[in-house]
Each structure stands twice: as C-alpha cells, then as structure tokens.
C-alpha cells in the first residue's frame, strides 16, 4: 500500500508539500499540484483518515454516548443519529456508559483525544460539569446538562400529564407513579406532570423510584403490588418500567386492564409486542435523534444555530393495558 512518502518521492516534492495539498492547509504551486495528482493516480494512493485527523485535529467522526444499550429506547435513538450522520457524510462511534459515571467520563476523554468532530451525549450525571472540559461541539440528547449546551428533549411534563389524565378518565382512582432516578431532570419533570394531572382530583397517588430496567422494575413492582392491592392505575416514567410492572402483575394474577391499568413513557417498539400491548406516551424517538445530529453537524460545519434547544411533543398511543375512557 502506497504511503505519503511514496507520493512525495514520485512527485519529487517534500512530504510536507503533499500534506499541504491533501489537507488544503497551505500554498502548493500549480506545477507541484500536477505532479502530486499524477503520483496519487499512478500509485492509487488513498489518504489515511487517521493521519489526516492527527494533522488537522478534525475528522468526520461523531461520538455518541448513551447510558444503557439494553434499554430499547437508546438503540432506537442511536439508529436515528447514525442514519442522519451518514446522510451528511459522517460516521458515528457508539459508546455505552452502562449508567456508570466513570465510564461516561472515560468515553468523553477518549473521544476527545481521538479527534472526533463533535459529541452527542445522553448523560447520566447531569449535575456535574465534566463535559465542560470538552472543547468540541456538543449536543445534549434526551437529558439536559446545562442551559449553555444545545439540547434536544421531549416535553416530558406534558407527556406525563397526558398519561395521568388518561388513566383518570379510564376510571383509575389509586394511582402509582414509577419514577426514574431522581438525579435525571427528565424523570423529575415527568413526576411533575403526574402530580399536576392528579391535583384537585378525587384520587389517591403514590410515587416509587425504579431504574429504567425491565428486571429491576419487575422485582420492585412485585413487592409493591403484593403489599398494595388497591393500586388500580400505574403511570411509569419509562416503557421498561411499565413492562416490568406488567410482568409483576402477571405473576401476581392481577388482570390487565380489568384490575390494573398501565401507561408507559417512551414508545419503544417492544411495547407493541408484549401481551397485552402497552398503552404509552410515545416520544418521537427518530425525530429526537435526527434533530440532535443535525444540530451537532451545523456546529461542526461552522453554521450559526437558529435554535439552541428543541422540545418535541409526545403522543399518547392507546393499546391494551388500559380500558376505554369513562369520561369524555
């Protein structure tokens, strides 16, 4: 395989001149250009992207850090980012932080050292400022990290209110909210929406916390529902938690939706596959990922952002884990 030195030798110019030509980073005379072009063609030389990135400290690589590859929401989100990046000529490196703060910091550091063009971050440690060390274009996706960082989110409070309003309209009077970790702003705002919908209503409300994990949510909900049989409606702040609740109810012999109604939040595809299928507040997952990628690429290519933050409305999708509305 030909190297840049081979090109320089055949073209009878210096390696530095070939480098300037390839990177368009300085003056190269017309005669030298012709010689270099001829040598590249004769040698079938393909420039090394790694070498070029080391020289220019720029690349066409985008880093994407997600918190949990096992949660179907994030692979669907990553697919949208990858599709959009590919359309604009960029390649995505996917990093899974595993809900681990040290891994997240590690990937931020490594991606920066690899000269990626920019980073899309779904952070698990929103309260820290470790991202400020990143001197690259950055976009926060799904979970805000700072008002100065361009952010793409769902209108979480509105979505949670829609879900809770619907449970109440379907006759639920003892409502349980399964929140996510209280360190997540998105989880907090979904709980706010739940409380807002329940205010001044003749219902009882309860809140418990669970990670966005199928198995852990099932264990937590099995114990809770076993000890609190009066619960007749659940709003879960993620579809993973909702499906965990659905499995717990099945193990306890609780009929869905006759005895217990469940509404999730996310709109992942698996929610339509489980039995009974899951009523959910669907985020526009593809639009979230697509918008984040476009915001990042605009920054990378030096365009001024007309919108620093984007908030996308969710949609209620009614399936089999809820009854029909009693009050319209």
The domain that holds 294 is classified in CATH as 3.40.50.2300
Any bridge partners for residue 190, and if so which? none
18 within a domain of the structure (yes/no): yes
Task: Phi first, then psi: give them for residue 263, nearest 5 degrees.
Answer: -125, 130
Take residue 241 and report the two structure tokens written for it.
């938690």
| Residue from 196, 170, 216, 210 nearest 320 by CA | 170
pLDDT along the chain (328 residues), means of 10: 85 85 81 92 75 58 93 95 94 92 88 85 69 81 85 97 97 97 89 96 96 96 98 97 98 97 97 97 97 94 85 97 79
119 falls within a domain: yes
CA gap 274, 133 in Å, rounded: 43
Secondary structure of residue 209 in the 3-state scheme: strand
Residues 195 and 248 in one domain: yes
Residue with structure tokens 């990922």? 289
Asked whether residue 206 falls in the same domain as residue 255, the answer is yes
Asked if residue 236 is part of any domain, the answer here is yes
The token pair that represents 40 in the structure block: 């590249």
Whether residues 93 and 174 share a domain: the answer is: no
Number of domains comprising the chain:
3
| Number of C-beta neighbours around residue 252 at 10 A | 14
Alpha carbons within 13 angstroms on the beta-carbon side of residue 283 total: 31
Q: Looking at residue 51, what is its pLDDT?
A: 54
- 270 and 203, same domain (yes or no): yes
Q: Please, what is the angle between helix 239-251 and helix 214-227, to 10°? A: 50
Q: Note whether 190 and 237 are within 8 A (CB).
A: yes
Would you call 48 helix, strand, or coil by DSSP?
A: coil
Residue 271 and residue 178 share a domain: yes
| Domain span including residue 93 | 61-153+285-312
Task: Tell me if 321 is assigned to some domain.
Answer: no
Q: 123 and 271 share a domain?
A: no
Report the chain's terminal Cα–Cα distance, integer Å. Answer: 72
| Residue at which a domain ends, from 16, 31, 55 | 55
Cα gap 222→243, rounded to integer Å: 12
Domain shared by 48 and 77, yes or no: no
Residue 326 lies in a domain: no
Q: Residue 182 has what pLDDT? A: 84
Say what the alpha-carbon torsion angle 141, 146, 147, 149 is, to the nearest 10 degrees.
Answer: -50
- Order of all β-strands in the sheet with 279-282: 204-209, 174-179, 233-236, 261-266, 279-282, 315-317
Are 182 and 235 in the same domain?
yes
200 and 123 both lie in a single domain: no
Q: How far apart are CA 182 and CA 199, in angstroms?
A: 21
CA distance 15 to 26: 13
In a domain, 318, yes or no: no
Domain shared by 175 and 269, yes or no: yes
One domain for residues 137 and 113: yes
Residue 323 lies inside a defined structural domain of this protein: no
Q: Is 319 inside a domain boundary?
A: no
Q: Using CB atoms within 10 A of its CB, is residue 114 exposed (0-12), middle (13-18) or buried (19+)?
A: middle
Residues 67, 185 share a domain: no
Confidence (pLDDT) at 295: 95
Residue 57: what pLDDT?
Answer: 52
């Amino acid at each position: 395989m030909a190297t840049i030195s081979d090109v320089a030798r055949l073209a009878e110019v210096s390696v530095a001149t070939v480098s300037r030509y390839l990177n368009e980073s300085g003056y190269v005379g017309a005669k030298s250009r012709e010689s270099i072009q001829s040598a590249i063609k004769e040698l079938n030389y393909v420039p090394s992207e790694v070498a070029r990135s080391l020289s220019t400290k720029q690349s066409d690589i985008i880093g994407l850090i997600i918190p949990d590859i096992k949660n179907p929401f994030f692979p669907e989100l990553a697919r949208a980012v990858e599709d959009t990046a590919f359309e604009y000529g960029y390649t995505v490196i996917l990093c899974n932080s595993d809900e681990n703060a040290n891994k997240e910091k590690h990937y931020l550091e490594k991606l920066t050292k690899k000269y990626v063009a920019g980073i899309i971050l779904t952070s698990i440690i929103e309260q820290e400022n470790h991202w400020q060390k990143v001197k690259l274009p950055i976009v926060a996706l799904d979970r805000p990290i700072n008002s100065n960082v361009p952010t793409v989110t769902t209108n979480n409070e509105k979505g949670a209110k829609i879900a809770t309003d619907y449970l109440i309209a379907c006759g639920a009077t003892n409502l349980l909210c399964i929140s996510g970790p209280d360190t997540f702003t998105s989880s907090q705002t979904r709980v706010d929406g739940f409380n807002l919908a329940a205010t001044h209503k003749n219902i009882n409300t309860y809140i418990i916390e669970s990670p966005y994990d199928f198995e852990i949510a099932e264990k937590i909900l099995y114990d809770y529902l076993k000890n609190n049989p009066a619960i007749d409606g659940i709003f879960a702040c993620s579809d993973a938690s909702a499906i965990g609740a659905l499995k717990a109810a099945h193990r306890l012999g609780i009929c869905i939706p006759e005895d217990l109604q469940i509404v999730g939040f996310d709109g992942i595809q698996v929610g339509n596959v489980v039995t009974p299928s899951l009523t959910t507040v669907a985020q526009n997952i593809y639009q979230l990922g697509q918008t984040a990628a476009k915001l990042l690429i605009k920054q990378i290519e030096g365009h001024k952002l007309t919108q620093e933050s984007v908030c996308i409305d969710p949609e209620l999708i009614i399936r089999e884990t809820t009854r029909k509305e009693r009050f319209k």
